[in-house]
Amino acid sequence: MGKEKLEQTLQATLDKGDKLFVPYIMAGDGGLDVLTDRIAFLEEAGASAIELGIPFSDPVADGPTIQAAGLRALEHKVSLKDVLDLLKTTRNTREIPIILMTYVNPIINFGTEAFAEACEESGVDGLIIPDLPMEEEDHIFPHVKEKGIALIRLAALTSPDDRLKQIGDRTEGFLYAVTVKGTTGAQATFGEEVGPYIEKLKTFTSKPVLAGFGVTTPDHVRDLSQYGDGVVVGSKIVSDFHDGVTDTIRELIQASKG
């Protein structure tokens, strides 16, 4: 389980000749009642893993769409504990790897040791923590590492090469290549530097490199996947679920196949 399951699952997809597609959804958007069905839909539609956002009142990496989803979830009183409890009771209903995306404060509030244990019991395979610098990882999260849960690092366009090499060397599961200089959200196009940047990251890590932030169309999925190993898609998935539209989600996932 954990890191091994995530990495083996991703590699099996790449070995088939497909690219990786990791959708992001906000846990509790629309209420916790819909979360299990949304996970099942994404698994059936062919997602590689699911990034599950935890609602938080100060989401520094999130753009307007995901911020709004987080506020809707908070209106439903959804907490980190609620999400982990649900994942625990439903863990036998899914095979797809689950990655939690959360911030440092909710984890500290939960208690790092208790959080790591709850993640293990809930079948969480990886973590993305945007406001956790590398220098603080070992100090704050030894318990997470002991449980074998992958710590997925984010690489920024603005980081110097020596920093990117460190991040690439330490990432687990995959390397998350941030493709914009800002927060999440829809993009019409990407800068000319994005392709070479993803290709450069491929030389800095043995793990798959997935591009994220601003990926909203099947063409984005295909174009960015040419340079790396696939994509992470958030705002578009969140808005489509909120609007009750699922055909477009299937189209996005299918764009990563073959």
| Residues recognised as catalytic | 51, 62
What number of residues does the chain have?
Answer: 258
What is the C-alpha to C-alpha distance for residues 247 and 141, in angstroms, rounded to an integer? 39
Nearest to 220 by CA among 188, 254, 178: 188
Residues 6+ positions from 217 with CB-CB distance below 8 Å: 236, 252
Burial 164-199 (b: 16+ CB within 10 A, else e): bbebbeebbbbbbbbbbeebbbbbeebeeebbebbe
Give the strand pairing for 175-178 and 20-26: unpaired
Which whole-number Å values give the CA distances from 122 to 92, 94, 115, 116, 183, in the listed order?
Answer: 10, 11, 10, 10, 29
Residue with tokens 């923590």: 129
Nearest to 258 by CA among 86, 13, 7: 13
What is the CA 107 to chain-centroid distance, rounded? 17
Residue 24 and residue 146 in contact, taking contact as beta carbons nearer than 8 Å: no
Instruction: Give residue 233's region: left, alpha or beta (phi > 0; psi -120 to 50).
Output: beta
What is the C-alpha to C-alpha distance for residues 102 and 66, in angstroms, rounded to an integer? 12
